[in-house]
Amino acid sequence: MNKHSIITGIAIIVIVIPFLVSGLNILGTQTLEYRWGGPGQFSFFAMSNHGDIEFCNTMPFWTSFQKYEVALFYDSKHIGSFVVNPLIINPLSSQVQSGIFTSEEIAATQHVFMTLDFEFDGGDIRLDPNKFITVIQIDTPIIGMIPYSTTTQISGFDFDKIMNSDNLSCD
Protein backbone atom coordinates (compact mmCIF):
# COMPACT_ATOMS: atom_id res chain seq x y z
CA MET A 1 0.00 0.00 0.00
CA ASN A 2 1.41 3.37 -0.93
CA LYS A 3 1.38 6.68 0.92
CA HIS A 4 -1.36 8.24 -1.22
CA SER A 5 -3.81 5.39 -0.56
CA ILE A 6 -3.31 5.70 3.19
CA ILE A 7 -3.74 9.50 3.11
CA THR A 8 -6.87 9.15 0.95
CA GLY A 9 -8.32 6.54 3.31
CA ILE A 10 -7.69 8.71 6.37
CA ALA A 11 -9.18 11.76 4.61
CA ILE A 12 -12.33 9.80 3.75
CA ILE A 13 -12.69 8.65 7.35
CA VAL A 14 -12.19 12.20 8.65
CA ILE A 15 -14.88 13.49 6.28
CA VAL A 16 -17.40 10.67 6.85
CA ILE A 17 -17.28 10.51 10.67
CA PRO A 18 -18.90 13.94 11.37
CA PHE A 19 -21.74 13.15 8.95
CA LEU A 20 -22.18 9.69 10.48
CA VAL A 21 -22.31 11.15 13.99
CA SER A 22 -24.83 13.78 12.85
CA GLY A 23 -26.97 11.12 11.18
CA LEU A 24 -26.95 8.98 14.33
CA ASN A 25 -27.84 12.09 16.36
CA ILE A 26 -30.84 12.78 14.10
CA LEU A 27 -31.95 9.16 14.47
CA GLY A 28 -31.53 9.45 18.24
CA THR A 29 -33.68 12.59 18.48
CA GLN A 30 -36.41 10.94 16.41
CA THR A 31 -36.57 8.02 18.85
CA LEU A 32 -36.41 10.12 22.05
CA GLU A 33 -39.07 9.37 24.61
CA TYR A 34 -40.17 12.08 27.01
CA ARG A 35 -42.58 12.82 29.84
CA TRP A 36 -43.15 15.44 32.49
CA GLY A 37 -40.53 15.53 35.27
CA GLY A 38 -42.97 14.00 37.77
CA PRO A 39 -44.56 10.89 36.19
CA GLY A 40 -48.36 11.22 36.09
CA GLN A 41 -48.28 14.83 37.34
CA PHE A 42 -48.47 16.68 34.03
CA SER A 43 -50.99 19.41 33.37
CA PHE A 44 -50.91 22.12 30.76
CA PHE A 45 -51.41 24.69 33.52
CA ALA A 46 -48.30 23.38 35.32
CA MET A 47 -46.38 23.59 32.04
CA SER A 48 -47.43 27.24 31.69
CA ASN A 49 -45.54 27.90 34.93
CA HIS A 50 -42.35 26.32 33.54
CA GLY A 51 -41.18 22.88 34.67
CA ASP A 52 -39.03 19.85 33.94
CA ILE A 53 -39.18 17.23 31.21
CA GLU A 54 -37.51 13.83 31.45
CA PHE A 55 -35.91 12.70 28.19
CA CYS A 56 -35.09 9.03 27.56
CA ASN A 57 -32.43 8.16 24.99
CA THR A 58 -33.36 4.70 23.68
CA MET A 59 -30.27 4.45 21.44
CA PRO A 60 -26.89 2.90 22.36
CA PHE A 61 -25.06 6.16 21.54
CA TRP A 62 -25.14 9.75 22.78
CA THR A 63 -27.96 11.95 21.52
CA SER A 64 -28.10 15.71 21.65
CA PHE A 65 -30.30 18.54 20.47
CA GLN A 66 -30.04 22.31 20.31
CA LYS A 67 -33.68 23.05 21.11
CA TYR A 68 -36.81 21.11 22.00
CA GLU A 69 -39.96 23.20 21.53
CA VAL A 70 -43.61 22.43 22.09
CA ALA A 71 -45.70 25.03 20.27
CA LEU A 72 -49.35 25.04 21.39
CA PHE A 73 -52.22 26.14 19.17
CA TYR A 74 -55.91 26.54 19.89
CA ASP A 75 -58.24 27.14 16.96
CA SER A 76 -55.17 27.69 14.72
CA LYS A 77 -53.88 30.51 16.97
CA HIS A 78 -50.46 30.16 18.62
CA ILE A 79 -51.09 30.46 22.35
CA GLY A 80 -47.64 29.66 23.72
CA SER A 81 -44.43 27.64 23.56
CA PHE A 82 -42.50 25.49 26.00
CA VAL A 83 -38.77 25.42 25.17
CA VAL A 84 -35.94 23.26 26.49
CA ASN A 85 -32.43 24.41 25.60
CA PRO A 86 -29.45 22.26 24.49
CA LEU A 87 -29.03 18.85 26.03
CA ILE A 88 -26.73 15.82 25.62
CA ILE A 89 -28.19 12.51 26.81
CA ASN A 90 -26.05 9.46 27.58
CA PRO A 91 -26.79 6.17 25.79
CA LEU A 92 -29.75 4.15 27.10
CA SER A 93 -30.41 6.59 29.94
CA SER A 94 -32.69 9.42 30.90
CA GLN A 95 -32.09 13.00 31.95
CA VAL A 96 -34.33 15.70 33.38
CA GLN A 97 -34.06 19.20 31.93
CA SER A 98 -35.89 22.42 32.82
CA GLY A 99 -37.95 24.28 30.27
CA ILE A 100 -39.42 27.76 29.96
CA PHE A 101 -42.96 28.58 28.86
CA THR A 102 -43.66 31.82 26.98
CA SER A 103 -46.91 33.35 25.78
CA GLU A 104 -48.00 36.77 24.66
CA GLU A 105 -51.30 36.41 26.54
CA ILE A 106 -50.36 34.32 29.57
CA ALA A 107 -53.59 34.85 31.55
CA ALA A 108 -55.82 33.84 28.61
CA THR A 109 -53.55 30.88 27.84
CA GLN A 110 -53.62 29.66 31.43
CA HIS A 111 -57.42 29.89 31.41
CA VAL A 112 -57.54 27.72 28.26
CA PHE A 113 -55.08 25.28 29.85
CA MET A 114 -57.12 24.96 33.06
CA THR A 115 -60.25 24.27 31.05
CA LEU A 116 -58.53 21.67 28.86
CA ASP A 117 -56.87 20.00 31.87
CA PHE A 118 -60.32 19.68 33.44
CA GLU A 119 -61.72 18.17 30.24
CA PHE A 120 -58.83 15.71 29.79
CA ASP A 121 -59.33 14.55 33.39
CA GLY A 122 -62.96 13.62 32.59
CA GLY A 123 -64.76 16.91 33.26
CA ASP A 124 -67.43 18.64 31.18
CA ILE A 125 -66.44 19.79 27.71
CA ARG A 126 -66.40 23.58 27.49
CA LEU A 127 -63.79 24.09 24.78
CA ASP A 128 -63.50 21.87 21.71
CA PRO A 129 -60.45 19.66 22.42
CA ASN A 130 -60.17 18.87 18.70
CA LYS A 131 -59.04 22.47 18.13
CA PHE A 132 -56.09 22.06 20.53
CA ILE A 133 -52.92 21.05 18.64
CA THR A 134 -49.32 20.64 19.76
CA VAL A 135 -46.37 20.88 17.39
CA ILE A 136 -43.16 19.37 18.75
CA GLN A 137 -39.98 20.54 17.05
CA ILE A 138 -36.50 19.26 17.86
CA ASP A 139 -33.58 21.18 16.34
CA THR A 140 -30.43 19.16 15.70
CA PRO A 141 -27.90 20.81 13.39
CA ILE A 142 -25.93 18.56 11.05
CA ILE A 143 -22.18 18.80 11.85
CA GLY A 144 -23.10 21.72 14.08
CA MET A 145 -23.81 24.10 11.20
CA ILE A 146 -26.55 22.89 8.85
CA PRO A 147 -30.01 23.44 10.41
CA TYR A 148 -32.15 20.31 10.73
CA SER A 149 -35.46 19.96 12.56
CA THR A 150 -37.75 17.06 13.33
CA THR A 151 -41.37 18.22 13.60
CA THR A 152 -44.32 16.22 14.91
CA GLN A 153 -47.91 17.44 15.16
CA ILE A 154 -50.26 15.70 17.58
CA SER A 155 -53.48 16.51 19.38
CA GLY A 156 -53.34 18.11 22.80
CA PHE A 157 -55.03 15.03 24.28
CA ASP A 158 -52.33 12.70 22.87
CA PHE A 159 -49.60 15.03 24.14
CA ASP A 160 -51.24 14.96 27.58
CA LYS A 161 -51.13 11.14 27.55
CA ILE A 162 -47.45 11.11 26.50
CA MET A 163 -46.45 13.60 29.21
CA ASN A 164 -48.36 11.64 31.88
CA SER A 165 -46.70 8.35 30.92
CA ASP A 166 -45.70 6.19 33.86
CA ASN A 167 -42.97 4.25 32.05
CA LEU A 168 -40.18 5.09 29.66
CA SER A 169 -37.82 2.57 28.04
CA CYS A 170 -35.01 3.87 30.27
CA ASP A 171 -36.86 3.04 33.53
Q: Is the pLDDT confidence value at 116 over 80? A: yes
Cβ–Cβ < 8 Å for 114, 69? no
Using CA of residue 34, residue 40, residue 45, residue 50, what is the dihedral sign? negative
Rounded Cα distance, 134 and 137, in Å: 10
Model pLDDT for residues 31-40, shown as the tens digit of each residue:
999 999 988 8
What SS3 class is residue 27? helix
Model pLDDT for residues 140-169, shown as the tens digit of each residue:
988 878 899 999 999 999 999 999 998 888
Model pLDDT for residues 46-96, shown as the tens digit of each residue:
999 999 999 999 999 999 999 999 999 999 999 999 999 999 999 999 999
Taking each helix axis from N to C end, the angle separating 106-120 and 156-163, rounded to the nearest 10 degrees, works out to 80
**Rounded mean pLDDT, 101-119:** 95
Give the pLDDT of residue 100.
97
- Please list, in sequence order, all residues whose beta carbon lies within 8 angstroms of the beta carbon of residue 7, skipping any fewer than 6 positions away: none
Q: What is the CATH number of domain 3-163?
A: 2.60.40.10
Report the predicted TM-score, pTM, of the whole model to 2 decimal places: 0.87
